[in-house]
Structure 1
Amino acid sequence: MLMRGVIFDLDGVLIDSAEAHLRSWRVLAERHGRTITDEQFAATFGRQNRAILPILWGREVDETEVARLGEEKEACYRDLIRGRIRSIAMPGAEALIRDCRAAGLAMAIGSSTPPENVALALEELGVAAHFSAVVTSKDVTRGKPAPDVFLLAAERLGLPPGQCVVIEDAPAGIDAALAAGCAAVGLTSQHAREKLGHADLVVDRLTELASGRLMSLRAKAAVEDHRPSR
């Protein structure tokens, strides 16, 4: 059975946003008398703010503080990238999206980032209309590597997870995709190939992918029911 849906991560897959995220985290840290190392950033990139902040702050951070600090950081991030999305688009991203659309594949975004970030990126890339579903950090309680974001994305596409392929750049994202029962493609934009080796397919560039290659990945049998926690 061929794959019928594609779920894209956003950061590190469709846009090369790592530098802007690092800069915005450092602005936030400086405002609050803290510092963030490259190693800390690399270890947390792609996770939800509720998981990142306790690591960077070195203490427990309650939900109210997570919301306040997270909104401050994400507003800074959007200020940095607004009007620049096309300049940081991953090579081949737009072409792959349009190819998948032409092939009749249903598409979703499954991201740990807030919905405002996703909306800005898709709007400036001019591809928002191609996506039937968007799942962000505000839609699920448990972030990657929990499977919730991809389970909900598949549900919103009206497809079994086993008929969806996820394109991810982070080991935690690959873990989440496989736990959901999806096929997983690892993109080496942020991590070395060996870190993504548990994916079904690993590529160095989106230009190595096309709808036919994604559709030919083996559909997976249903896995134990893991309903997303919302």
Structure 2
Amino acid sequence: MERAVIFDLDGVLVDSSLFHRESWRVVGKERGFEMTDELFWRTFGMPNRQILPLLLHRDLSEDEIAELSERKEAVYRELAAGKMQPLPGSTDLVRAVVDAGFRVALGSSTPMSNIRVVLDALGIRECFEQIVCSDDVTHGKPHPEVFLKAAQKLGVDPSRCVVIEDAVVGVQAAKAAGMRCLAVATTHPADKLQEADMVAPDLTHVTPGTLARMLDA
């Protein structure tokens, strides 16, 4: 039976949190709102359409959400250009699971325009058979839609998928999808990620064998 690994992007493959925080700060200064540290970390991993009503304390039209999201992500790409570095062990693990015969997908709350920038910078875009992003789903994490859609596109049963996540809402989404979840404590402390099946400090010592054993447990 085929097995799959579904990677999150931000906080798993790259540490993009500083760029995201600064882009919210820039747009907030332009538009008269403030992204607090508490709200930033609580919503990290959610799509912008879920974050913006919490940030502005009101409902927004689809046009407002689209316009603010596009501005925020444009600032993010400007800030991150040429500065994106892989997190320890991340690109090695992506290539290793491909070589080990796993089906590989990306499931992220990030827009596709950002995903392309990151994967091209890391040189691993060709490793992912399928990519499901915020543009492809109706419900953001912690809803399981992004991971269920990735499994469906791969043609792999959710019970044979391992999700690699860094955010609390991402772990919750993986478990709601009926998948195994390995959490990395790159964004949140390990004690916040205990819903995951396994927690690691980073991906340095995670191998395809680690993920295979999780599926066989």
Q: Which TM class, normalised by the smaller chain length?
A: over 0.9
- Corresponding position of 2:17: 18
d(CA) in 1 for partners of 2:208, 2:53:
39
d(CA) in 2 for partners of 1:93, 1:125:
10
Say if 2:26 is the partner of 1:27: yes
d(CA) in 1 for partners of 2:66, 2:216:
38
Q: What is the TM-score of this pair, normalised by structure 1? A: 0.92
- Corresponding position of 1:137: 134
**RMSD value, Cα:** 1.2
Gaps of 5+ in 2: none
More moved, 138-147 vs 54-63:
54-63
Displacement after TM superposition at 1:144 (Å): 0.3
- Write the mapping of 1:71-110 to structure 2, written as runs, cut at 5 A: 71-85=70-84, 88-110=85-107
| Cα deviations by residue, 1:141-190 (Å, 9 ceiling, x for unpaired) | 10000000000000111101111100000111011001111100111111
Displacement after TM superposition at 1:208 (Å): 2.2
- Corresponding position of 2:61: 62
Say if 2:177 is the partner of 1:180: yes
Q: Is the 8 Å Cα contact of residues 162 and 219 (structure 1) preserved in structure 2? A: no
Say if 2:163 is the partner of 1:202: no
Say if 2:190 is the partner of 1:193: yes
SS at match of 1:167: strand
SS at match of 1:129: helix
- Corresponding position of 2:46: 47
Structure 1 residue ranges, 4+ long, deviating more than 2 angstroms after superposition: none
More moved, 49-58 vs 36-45:
36-45
d(CA) in 1 for partners of 2:179, 2:70:
31
Gaps of 5+ in 1: 221-230
Displacement after TM superposition at 1:219 (Å): 5.2
d(CA) in 2 for partners of 1:194, 1:94:
25
SS at match of 1:190: coil
Displacement after TM superposition at 1:218 (Å): 2.9
d(CA) in 1 for partners of 2:215, 2:93:
19
Identity of aligned residues (%): 47
d(CA) in 2 for partners of 1:9, 1:208:
18
Q: Is the 8 Å Cα contact of residues 187 and 206 (structure 1) preserved in structure 2? A: yes
Q: What is the TM-score of this pair, normalised by structure 2? A: 0.97
d(CA) in 2 for partners of 1:66, 1:208:
40
SS at match of 1:7: strand
d(CA) in 1 for partners of 2:90, 2:21:
22
